[in-house]
Structure 1
């Protein structure tokens, strides 16, 4: 499988919430996740089981969300993906009690694939946009 095919299947099965445990087939046992938040880059180590749990946490927070890919560019072992995730806030998120209102996440990542498995990625998420939505949703209109 090419890097493009691996990442496409990862999004269709794992990241979408449809089949989180497919992470075991598509991710290396040790994945470096470089997370950029407000110019503060943190690298955490992810495993397929850890990532599957992360997706289940998103399902607990946003229900069966909709994930749409807005850009997908593959070059050699790197694949860039930008997506929009839409769900309903049904579980606690960052201290915000469920509002049962829509929440949209816009994010992008570059994935590096080696031996048909994701081994590393660099991700940026519009966390401020999510925070603003949470604040707006908790306040009476």
Structure 2
């Protein structure tokens, strides 16, 4: 698969699935035995686990992802993104705060046979928890 095709595949996850809320697209873009290297509590395994993960995110956080960079090399695609949303439903055991958030993250995907096969990520979880009011900012810190 070309680097451009890999980038387009990953963009579909952000554009159609996460922002467009079209979970059925997951069946087209991810392998059945999809591997999540940092699953959320309650997330199943495989492609259905990816569907669980996306459902939890879009239901509780009403995210809107902005893809800032997409870099592809070999079978890996790296995405640097911003996520702005509002915490409207319980998420990972935390009651809905109603607060807005704006966080950054980086995802790495492995592509196999033209589909998403594996995922790793780094997300600014401390900033998320602080913005939602579950962690206090140190005195004098800028939120």
- Tell me the alpha carbon deviations over residues 74-123 of structure 1, each in whole angstroms, 9 at most, x when there is no partner: 11221100111111111112333222220223211111111101111211
Distance 1:5 1:82 in 2: 15
Offset at 1:19? 0.8
Partner of 1:40: none
Q: Is the 8 A contact 2:31 2:116 kept in 1?
A: yes
Give the TM-score taking structure 2 as reference length.
0.78
Q: Which has the higher contact order (CA 8 A, sep 6+)?
A: 1
Q: Does 1:54 align with 2:56?
A: no
- 1:33 counterpart (13, 33, 36): 36
Partner of 2:90: 92
Structure with greater strand share of residues:
1
Offset at 1:26? 0.5
Offset at 1:137? 8.9
Number of paired residues?
130
Partner of 2:139: none
| Runs of 4 or more consecutive aligned structure 1 residues displaced over 3 Å after TM superposition | none
Partner of 2:132: 134
Q: Which runs of 5+ in 1 are unaligned?
A: 37-43
**Alpha carbon RMSD of aligned pairs, Å?**
2.4
Deviates more, 1:65-74 or 1:15-24: 15-24
Q: Which runs of 5+ in 2 are unaligned?
A: 137-143
Deviates more, 1:115-124 or 1:11-20: 11-20
Equivalent residue of 1:87, what SS?
strand
Distance 1:98 1:68 in 2: 23
